Amino acid sequence: MVTRYKFPLALLFPALFLVGFIILYPMGYAIFFSFHRSDFLNIGEWVGLKHFISLVQDPDGQNSILKSFIYTGGSMATCIPFGFLLAILLNQNIKFKSAFRTIIILPWVVAEIISAYLWQWAVDPFYGSLTYLVSLLGFGRVNFLNSKLAMPTLIFVNVWRSYPFVAILLMAGLEAIPGLLYESAKIDGASSWQSFIHITLPLIAPTLMIVCIVLSLVCFNQVTVLFRHTQGGSGGVTHTLPMTTWRGAFLNFHFGIASSVSVVIFLFNIVFSIAYILLLRRRA
């Protein structure tokens, strides 16, 4: 049996080795670095869990963890219902359905950095187009990136680019549900809401779970939107864990501390994934 797969494995080995080296080596090096004091890229003395303890005990570290959950939770709480609603609407027999589907995917096609630049220009307090439109409504020149509005603004920007991903996956899930189920429920006297609760939601749950996993990982690890708009903001109002990694590595050159924060982000990602998988198995 082993002999049978020797040749295919031999063909796969170079690619697997290259991918493993690209992924596993930096990951292992970051974990190793996180337990040492650093002098730029030079590894210093062993400090054990000192960097991790400092992150948890330091008010700035606690704030970055909190802001990461606020940013991720706010993005998901807005993006998933909105994308789900669009998926349901575009799954109906309406005119120009293909055109609408093409239009909603456009924000997702735009590169993340380009999207960040576009919205940075739109919400600029002096010459931004969105700022100007708001001023025409009588609200004056609103600074969308001040301490109170910065996080909601960045969540909105993230949702604007992320909702097509949610809508597309959920549309695919909705189209896989047999129409006979809805016809049978209608014959039995079920309302549209009852059909949604007892047919749509249970059958769309696996797809919805995949959406939650991917979206939470993307939002929790996101740097581009936060960096381009506020770089953490004054008072740390948008200072998430990825921004702490960036500041530690490329602003303060404390690569040991930055590595420990990246390890914490990695651990959070593992916890999210395991929690979603266990929940999905429980529902199954």
In CATH, 50-283 is 1.10.3720.10: yes
Closest CA to 216 of 75, 103, 84, 8: 75
pLDDT of the chain, 284 residues: tens digit per residue: 556 777 788 888 888 888 888 888 888 888 888 888 877 777 878 888 888 888 888 888 888 999 999 999 999 999 999 999 999 888 888 787 778 888 888 888 888 888 888 888 888 888 888 888 888 887 777 888 877 888 899 999 999 989 999 999 999 888 888 888 888 888 888 888 888 888 888 888 888 888 988 899 889 988 888 888 887 666 678 888 888 888 888 887 788 888 888 899 988 888 888 888 887 777 65
Q: Is the dihedral of CA 3, 9, 11, 17 positive or negative?
A: negative
Domain locations in the chain?
Answer: 50-283
The tokens of 173 are what?
């899930």
Tokens representing residue 23 in the block: 């992924």
- Locus of tokens 């948008």: 238
